[in-house]
Amino acid sequence: MSALVRFRLAGFLRTGRALAPVLAGLLTLGILYGGGRAQPAEAYGVSAVVLFPVLAWQTKVLLDVEPDVQRRLAVVTVGPAREYAAGLVAAAVAGLGLVMVALVFPWLVGGVTGPSLPGERSIPAGVALGLWAHLLALPGAVALGALASRVITRSAGYGVAVLTCGVVGALVFGVAKSAVPWLAPPLLPTARALVGPLPGSTALLLSGWALAWAAVVLSGYVRVRARRA
């Protein structure tokens, strides 16, 4: 399967289509950190929220780069389960690249600051929590991007609609007093949790929530894939 993951990443990078999501990510981060300085954990919590649509879009672009017939050749060669998995893993690896850029970016532009008062989080703790927040956003973004990919939606219009509805839903259902917060991945709840002290139970709940949301969306992706070539 790793050979297929490498093949898909190579196809994604060599076509130059990787450039658009990366530039969009940098632009978003530039706007986010252009306004002032914040504690790392707090800043990264918001960064994970704003990167969610970029990560989902990048996943769609990566999966759509490969011609349909080439995807079918991969199904014949490695079987359907490994073909699905290889696409998702390739998207997750590409997403990790963007997450690393998001973690380094604020230090380059002076968007984050160290602890100024006693009792505030140290920089390593803030960075670790920031990494955690981005890693929580990634599975949901990959799942949403996969659901918006051409093999599922069949047309560019439906693809954009799925992507947009997913992102808007994630923000609308994720607000503080939402009646159905579990309909969205826990992006905004994670960002809110990172403002103050984070109890272990909350971290565990948010992690489980993020993985469960991604699993439900991915099961939809796999169900539809099973019916389509």
CB of 95 to another protein, least distance (A): 21
The residue among 69 and 179 lying less far from another protein, judged by its C-beta, is 69
Tokens of 208: 């489980």
Q: Which stretch binds another protein (CB under 8 A): 72-80, 92-100, 165-173, 184-192?
A: 72-80
Work out whether 66 is an interface residue with another protein (CB under 8 A): yes
Q: Which of 23, 30, 31, 72 binds another protein (CB under 8 A)?
A: 72
* 120 is an interface residue for another protein by CB under 8 A: no
The residue range among 10-18, 26-34, 49-57, 105-113 that interacts with another protein, by the rule CB under 8 A, is 10-18
CB-CB neighbours of 204 under 10 Å: 10
| 93 binds another protein, rule: CB under 8 A | no
78 binds another protein (CB under 8 A): yes
Neighbours of 93 (CB within 10 A): 15
Q: Which neighbouring-strand residues pair with 112?
A: 38
Rounded least distance, CB 78 to another protein, Å: 6
Question: Does 229 contact another protein by CB under 8 A?
Answer: yes
Residue 223 Cβ vs another protein, minimum distance, rounded to whole Å: 12
Q: Taking the complex as a whole, how short is the minimal distance between the CB of residue 12 and another protein, in angstroms?
A: 9
Q: Does residue 74 interact with another protein by CB under 8 A?
A: yes
Phi/psi for 27 (5° steps) reads -65, -45
Q: Does residue number 220 form part of the binding site for another protein (CB under 8 A)?
A: no
Return d(Cα 145, Cα 159) in angstroms, integer: 9
Pair 143, 158: CB distance under 8 Å: no
Nearest distance from residue 158's CB to another protein, in Å?
14
Is 155 a residue that touches another protein (CB under 8 A)?
no
We find the least distance from the C-beta atom of residue 227 to another protein, in angstroms, to be: 7
Spacing of C-alpha 221 from chain mean position: 16
- In whole angstroms, the minimum distance from the beta carbon of 66 to another protein comes to 8
DSSP helix/strand/coil, 38: strand
Residue of 61, 66, 60 lying closest to 83 (CA atoms): 66
Radius of gyration of the chain measured on its C-alpha atoms: 18
Interaction between residue 67 and another protein (CB under 8 A)? yes
Buried b (16+ CB within 10 A) or exposed e, 96-127: eebbeebbebbeeeebbbeeeeeeebeeeebb
